[in-house]
Structure 1
Amino acid sequence: MRQISSVADSANGSIPLRDYQYHARVLVKDYVFADNFLPYTSILGSILACKVIYDLTKLISNYHFKPYSSLTKIQRTEWNNRGLSTVHAIFITYMSVYFVFWSDLFSDGHGSELITFRASPISIFTLGVSVGYFLVDLTMICWLYPSLGGMEYILHHSLSAIAVAYSMLSKEGQLYTFMVLISEMTTPEINLRWYLDVAGLKDSLTYLINGIVIFFAWLGARILLFGYMFYHVYLHHHQVVKMHVFGYILVFGVPSVLAVMNLMWFGKILKGLKKTLMKQL
């Protein structure tokens, strides 16, 4: 019966559904997820996903969060933008922790290739998603400057986009890129702090607990982990020096600049937490 159906379809000039499915699989395998196209398809897919998530945040917030309708236009834009950054942060934190601590891809005893030159299709795809997000967020910050952030945000996102894109395209230093990207785990807490503030819950217990969580998350992901990364670079310096000179500069330069910024922001977080605790006491 299947052969008869196929002959009938051919006679009628139509193509069976399974042929469409086969051609679709070939297209995805040979082009969309091919090694040469994977970085670009992941970036493009990320940009499209950012648009969808932004619109969904706007739609859900409009119907389920009463404070949203009373916000100004720029506040609603920032609200939606923070929803987008939260989704990206959750995704990239999970994937980064996986590659750094769970996966064997970058372990010392795995394979004969140098750690600084290891990569996989999944790691490339993950970095492409992050590049797409940073490009979208950077564009929004510049377009609405300074409503969504000042020069420190432009510097942070520019350095992040350049470093992540280079690591994705060159397949160099991806381990250290993922170590730095783990710092995105603090983003949901920072966004929740802003949401609570806008909703008029700055004096609530939730706001206080969130501030404490921010303190410890920042200390672990943006201070201690950066120290561990620099120590790891020191131990594997004989492999790092074999990278391209631009990649070598990025490994030392970008984390160093971000570390200084993290320390400055950490000082503000500590000051804010002390102020909040004093109010509660």
Structure 2
Amino acid sequence: MDDWTHLSYAVVVVSFVIFQLLFSFMSHLISDSVFQGYKKLTIEKQTEWNSRFVSTIHALIVGFFCLYILWFDDVVNSDLVWGDPRLVKLNVAVTSGYLIYDLLLLIRYWKLMGDAFFICHHLAALYAYSYVLSRGVLPYFANFRLISELSTPFVNQRWFFDAVCFPRSSRPVLCNGVAMTVVFFLVRIAVIPTYYARVFSTFGTEAFEKLGTGPQVAWIVSSLSLEVLNIIWMYKIFRGCYKALVRAKKIQDSNHLK
């Protein structure tokens, strides 16, 4: 096991601890001092608020690190299967620590935040990422999947607006809803053809055969599982955005008639 692999596992542990501390202490302190509506929330709402606060921080860190690697790490982008995985390992390690923290959180607060889709998503991702951390395989594809995190802040912001009772027909809520729908589509759905075109381009190559059955199955099964979940979520988000825009239009037309 090389030094970078040891470092990656250490980052997983540190990531888990930091996200747990953010949930247990920092989110409450920051939210209580910055957002007036936070104090008025029930304990249950504050718990989910803290969870989404941590989720947003993770998404911003990992999402922008992912873009940096895609734009500037030429070795990873030139060798999709066996490129130098060091930076990708660090990014995946941060995400793995977060996923473990979030899994335990979902189990602990199952009645409040439990979601079978999220459990499936986290387990599929951890299964695939374990090969990245242990063997450094498929760095380009592992990093590419993390683009999807860029949609998370908008999803969480929608919940924050609801939690503090912002009217769903208000401009900030509608703008965030449209942005959430567009960004979710771009980073989770529109990228599907590009992703699978590059997946298929590796089939039958020496690099692909060198992976072995385990990583091949983990890669393909986890990818397809995540795609199913993304399509389900995209349908729900699009339907919600459409209903919100129609409702806002009816309210606007009603106000004009008065």
Mapping for residues 114-263 of structure 1, pairs under 5 Å: 114-201=79-166, 202-237=168-203, 238=205, 239-263=207-231
Aligned partners of 1:68, 1:226: CA distance in 2, in Å?
38
Cα distance, 1:34 vs. partner? 3.1
The answer on whether the counterparts of 1:180 and 1:226 sit within 8 Å (CA) in structure 2 is no
Q: Show the counterpart of 1:97.
A: 67
The answer on whether the counterparts of 1:127 and 1:165 sit within 8 Å (CA) in structure 2 is no
Name the amino acid aligned to 2:101. V
**How many residue pairs align between the two structures?**
244
Aligned partners of 2:187, 2:95: CA distance in 1, in Å?
18
Cα distance, 1:74 vs. partner? 1.7
Asked if residue 43 in structure 1 is aligned to residue 12 in structure 2, the reply is yes
1:12-66 Cα offsets, whole Å, 9 max, x none, are: xxxxxxxxxxxxxxxxxxxxx9335212211111012113322211101112212
The answer on whether the counterparts of 2:154 and 2:176 sit within 8 Å (CA) in structure 1 is yes
Name the amino acid aligned to 2:181. F
Cα distance, 1:232 vs. partner? 0.6
Aligned partners of 2:71, 2:221: CA distance in 1, in Å?
24
Cα distance, 1:195 vs. partner? 0.1
The answer on whether the counterparts of 1:226 and 1:255 sit within 8 Å (CA) in structure 2 is no
Name the amino acid aligned to 1:164. Y
Change (3 A) 1:184 1:200: same
Cα distance, 1:240 vs. partner? 2.5
Change (3 A) 1:74 1:241: farther
1:91-149 Cα offsets, whole Å, 9 max, x none, are: 111111222233212233xxxxx531223433222211111000000110011113113
Change (3 A) 1:145 1:255: same
Aligned partners of 2:104, 2:239: CA distance in 1, in Å?
31
Aligned-partner SS, 1:107: helix
Aligned partners of 1:61, 1:122: CA distance in 2, in Å?
32
Q: 257-266 vs 183-192, which deviates more?
A: 257-266
1:56-85 Cα offsets, whole Å, 9 max, x none, are: 111011122122112121211110111111
Cα distance, 1:260 vs. partner? 1.1
Name the amino acid aligned to 1:47. F
- RMSD of aligned Cα (Å): 1.6
Change (3 A) 1:167 1:146: farther
Aligned partners of 2:172, 2:219: CA distance in 1, in Å?
38
Q: Show the counterpart of 1:75.
A: 45
Name the amino acid aligned to 1:121. R
Name the amino acid aligned to 2:9. Y
Q: Which has the larger radius of gyration?
A: 1
Aligned partners of 1:120, 1:262: CA distance in 2, in Å?
26
Change (3 A) 1:56 1:105: same
Aligned partners of 1:49, 1:244: CA distance in 2, in Å?
35
Name the amino acid aligned to 2:211. M
Gaps of 5+ in 2: 250-258
Name the amino acid aligned to 1:266. M
Name the amino acid aligned to 2:13. L
